[in-house]
Structure 1
């Protein structure tokens, strides 16, 4: 395996550190409460201790991992699809359509994503679907900008011009010749947004407008641990460490993919 394609050791180590406790924790019940075991310190019976209701923290961490992964994947997929569609449409039709879409992107860029998402989440109410909509509808702008710039560069390429001359419709040309050239450029951004989305999900959960208890969401777990931090600091430290590790893993993957994206962009601009 060449060095270019060999996964960095940091990614493998972080993935292993996440996978082992998560795999074991998934065999446990994250909702089962027992006040008799309230605020138990980490031990053989409870490797990461228990919370104020006697629930196993390891079980909640593991099931929260799946919950955050699923939510982040849905949000990234929505942002990716929306941004890619907006970017290629803006480049294809240009003129007023392009200017209108650019204005919309500028407006969203001028405001912090987390603030817009917070307002939408509060307005739509707590839960998984409002959270996906709130973060998904505010995270597409970067995809759209990259897709638009790449699509503009591809408009005058020989194979695109030949497809149009041969009678290909706009939808055909975009789906068969333009979009496949853009996808490699967005790979690193997908991993980067995935890490940022994990943090945003936790932030909204911490503020009480994301996933609602008793669902084991990491941000909500940290918020619930505040009154007990002096007696049971692991309640906040453990989900914080897992949140850090998962975000670091996503950013490490994004860094490893950025070189391929940069090579794709360089090849596109040079040709």
Structure 2
């Protein structure tokens, strides 16, 4: 069952990514072009998914919004994974005051709300895209750090690592050949959940109007903009919701299949 859910998740994710990447080749209007005469109009040749409240193509805006969310989420999770895994291995390998210091830093960062972290990065970095990337990565690395440190401690005490040290193998070889095969499956699951969490966070911040500024298309922002028109155009309102749902469902199926 887990293998089947894993395959379904990958199929859904590839379909969403394929739409986000290939849609611009068929886009005739662009995500920002307005035509108020077509506000909330149905699909046509130029806009296969219809128009939003300002007469902008939902087909184009959904594709751009998905690319934005996927790019930020994958970049943030990849950064968090590299930092968290590296520091987790270091803490487990060296132990002592290094382990305690890194644990204290992780606990201190965890005390800060994720929203506050993103807003702080928004002041420091130019552009909300960079702020989302840095803010989400600054929160997510803690999970990778804790998982890696806990898993590596158990492996470090085993005979395989001791034998490799005696034979003169370095840390990189030991990590690649001994540690990663043991901790890799857990961390790959954490990565899938991390990307899903990042996408949900971006959409949630957009929904409360503190995310990517208009008119840049973003899933949460599109939901807020279209929500007042749910009676006149329920299909239009449902589109960013469905896109976000399918994206999160695919990633959770992938993570569940690996668990």
TM-score w.r.t. the length of structure 2 is 0.84
SS for the counterpart of 2:79 is: helix
1:65–1:156 CA distance, 2 compared to 1 (3 A): same
1:212–1:102 CA distance, 2 compared to 1 (3 A): same
Q: How does 1:1-271 map to 2 (within 5 A)?
A: 5-7=3-5, 10-11=8-9, 14-15=12-13, 18=16, 25-26=23-24, 27-28=26-27, 29-40=30-41, 42-45=42-45, 46-124=47-125, 126-258=127-259
Equivalents in 2 of 1:76, 1:168: separation in Å? 30
Give the conservation status (yes or no) of the 8 Å contact 1:25–1:61.
Answer: no
Give the conservation status (yes or no) of the 8 Å contact 2:43–2:51.
Answer: no
How far did residue 7 of structure 1 move?
A: 5.0
How far did residue 100 of structure 1 move?
A: 1.0
- Between 1 and 2, higher relative CO (CA 8 Å, sep ≥ 6) is seen in 2
TM-score w.r.t. the length of structure 1 is 0.81
CA shift digits 1:179-232 (9 cap, x unpaired)? 443222211111111111111111223344433333221122223334544544
Consecutive unaligned residues of structure 1, counting only runs of 5 or more, are 259-271
SS for the counterpart of 1:138 is: helix
Equivalents in 2 of 1:75, 1:243: separation in Å? 18
- Which residue of 2 is the match for residue 262 of structure 1? none
Equivalents in 1 of 2:119, 2:37: separation in Å? 37
1:232–1:11 CA distance, 2 compared to 1 (3 A): same
SS for the counterpart of 2:139 is: coil
1:125–1:231 CA distance, 2 compared to 1 (3 A): farther
SS for the counterpart of 2:75 is: helix
Give the conservation status (yes or no) of the 8 Å contact 1:125–1:209.
Answer: no
Give the conservation status (yes or no) of the 8 Å contact 2:21–2:63.
Answer: yes
- Which residue of 2 is the match for residue 265 of structure 1? none
Identify the range of structure 1 (189-198 vs 115-124) with the bigger mean alpha-carbon deviation: 115-124
Query: What is the count of residue pairs matched by the alignment?
Result: 255
Give the conservation status (yes or no) of the 8 Å contact 1:21–1:58.
Answer: no
Equivalents in 1 of 2:37, 2:19: separation in Å? 24
Give the conservation status (yes or no) of the 8 Å contact 1:109–1:141.
Answer: yes
How far did residue 55 of structure 1 move?
A: 1.2
1:23–1:87 CA distance, 2 compared to 1 (3 A): closer
- Which residue of 2 is the match for residue 269 of structure 1? none
Equivalents in 2 of 1:16, 1:103: separation in Å? 39
CA shift digits 1:122-168 (9 cap, x unpaired)? 55454211210111111111111110011111112222112211233
SS for the counterpart of 1:221 is: helix
1:144–1:13 CA distance, 2 compared to 1 (3 A): closer
Consecutive unaligned residues of structure 2, counting only runs of 5 or more, are none
Any runs of at least 4 consecutive aligned residues in structure 1 with deviations exceeding 6 A, and if so which?
none
